[in-house]
Amino acid sequence: MKKFGVSIQTVRLDRLELGIPELRERLKLMAEQTYDQVRSLPLHEVIGDVIDLQLDKSGISIFEIKPEHVFSRTKIARGHHIFSQANSLAVAVIDDEVALTASADIRFIRPVRLGEKCVAKAYVRSGSQAGGKAHVEVFTYVGDEKVFQGNFMIYRTKTIEQDQTEGVDNHANSN
Amino acid sequence: MKKFGVSIQTVRLDRLELGIPELRERLKLMAEQTYDQVRSLPLHEVIGDVIDLQLDKSGISIFEIKPEHVFSRTKIARGHHIFSQANSLAVAVIDDEVALTASADIRFIRPVRLGEKCVAKAYVRSGSQAGGKAHVEVFTYVGDEKVFQGNFMIYRTKTIEQDQTEGVDNHANSN
C-alpha cells in the first residue's frame, strides 16, 4: 500500500465508494478481524457499521440513510440519526467499560438525503488515560463533503455504580 | 386557575406526575384541541408526546424511556433518544414550513433510566420572525431534576429548495 502513498484506510474508503456489495462484505469481515474490539458497548448497539477502530485513538463507521431515517416531506435525514452515528462512534472508541456522553457541541453542515452514505471518523484528542473525561472529535462525510462535525466530551468510568456513589453530577450520561 | 397562583401548564404537569393514565389521555385530547398545530413536521414525526405548543414561543413534550431506548448493560437511556426528544421539540415550536437544526450545544446532566418520564420544555429565545435562524433553548426534566439541556440554532425557511438555490452552507440541516 505504501507504494501508492495512500493509507489503508483511504483505500478502504475508496473501495467502499465504489459501492460493490461483495467487496463491502469482504471488507467488513476483514475489518472485524483486524480492528480492536469495542469495549464500552456491545457492537450491535453502535449505530452504523464500524469498519475501523483503534481504541482510545480513532474509529470509522458507515451509515446509510434509509427511508426510515428521513423526514417524509423533504427526504432529508433527521438530525438525530446523524447525531446517533457520531455519538455512538465517539463512545465506541473509548477503551473503558462504561463511557457516557457528558456534553457535545455539534454542527450540521449540509442536509443529508435518502440513499447517501455517511462516513463518520472519530479522533480521541485528549483524556485517553483511564478515568475522567475524553475529548473526541467526529467528522461525518458524504463522499468528500463534510456534512456534520461534533466535539464530544465522554465521561469514562469502570462501572456506572462508582459514578453514582460519588454523587457525580454534570458529567454522566447516556451515549 | 389564576386563583391558585399557578399556570395551566404547571397544573397539567402536576397532574401528569400523578401518572393517572385516563387523566393523561383526557389531558392529551384536551391539549390537542387547545395548542397550536405543528407546522414544520408532521406531528407523528415528533419524538415524544407534545402536550403543549405555542408556535414561535414554547412547547412541552413527554417521552417515556422504554426497553428499546436503553443500553442493554446499564439500562441507561441512550443519549440520542434524549437528544431526539429535545431536537424534534426545538423544530416543532418553529412556525415555518421547513425548520432544520443548524447547530446545538448540549449537556447530559444525569443518566436517565428505564421507566423514567422525560418532560422537555422548549423556549424560543430569539429569531422568531420568519426566515433566518432561531435560538431555541430546551430543558429536560425527570420529576424536578434537570437531566438535559441544549441550545439549538434552528434554520427556518419556506422551502428547502429556496435554501439550496441560495447555495447556503453551514446553517442547513436535518432535525
Count of pairs with CB atoms under 8 A, one residue in A, one in B: 137
ipTM for the complex shown: 0.72
Helix (H) / strand (E) element for B165: namely helix B160-165
CB contact, 8 Å: A89 with chain B?
no
Return the pLDDT at B161. 45
Neighbours of A167 (CB within 10 A): 6
Helix (H) / strand (E) element for A71: namely none
What Cα–Cα distance (Å) separates residue B5 from each residue in B2, B9, B11, B132? 5, 12, 10, 37
User: Between chains, do A80 and B110 touch, taking CB under 8 Å as contact?
Assistant: no
For chain A, domain boundaries: 35-165
Return the pLDDT at B135. 95
The residue of chain B nearest to residue A113, with distances taken between CA atoms, is B174
Per-residue pLDDT tens digits for A103-153: 999 999 999 999 999 999 999 998 766 668 899 999 999 999 999 999 999
The residue of chain B nearest to residue A90, with distances taken between CA atoms, is B79
Measured at the CA of A93, the angle between CA A162 and CA A26, to 5 degrees, comes to 140
CB-CB neighbors (< 8 A) of B74 in chain A: 98, 160
CATH 3.10.129.10, domain A35-165, yes or no: yes
User: Between chains, do A175 and B104 touch, taking CB under 8 Å as contact?
Assistant: no
Q: Comparing A39-43, A136-140, B19-23, B115-119, which segment has the lowest mean pLDDT?
A: B19-23
Question: pLDDT exceeding 70 applies to what percent of chain A?
Answer: 68
Residue B8, pLDDT above cutoff 70: no
> Å from A103 to nearest chain B CA?
4
Residue B104, pLDDT above cutoff 70: yes
Helix (H) / strand (E) element for A39: namely none
* Separation between Cα atoms, residue A49 and residue A72, nearest integer Å: 25
Per-residue pLDDT tens digits for B27-42: 666 655 567 888 888 8
The residue of chain B nearest to residue A100, with distances taken between CA atoms, is B79
Q: φ, ψ for residue A39 (rounded to 5)? A: -105, -35
Report the mean per-residue pLDDT for chain B. 80
* Separation between Cα atoms, residue A142 and residue A113, nearest integer Å: 10
CB contact, 8 Å: B110 with chain A?
yes
Residue B169, pLDDT above cutoff 60: no
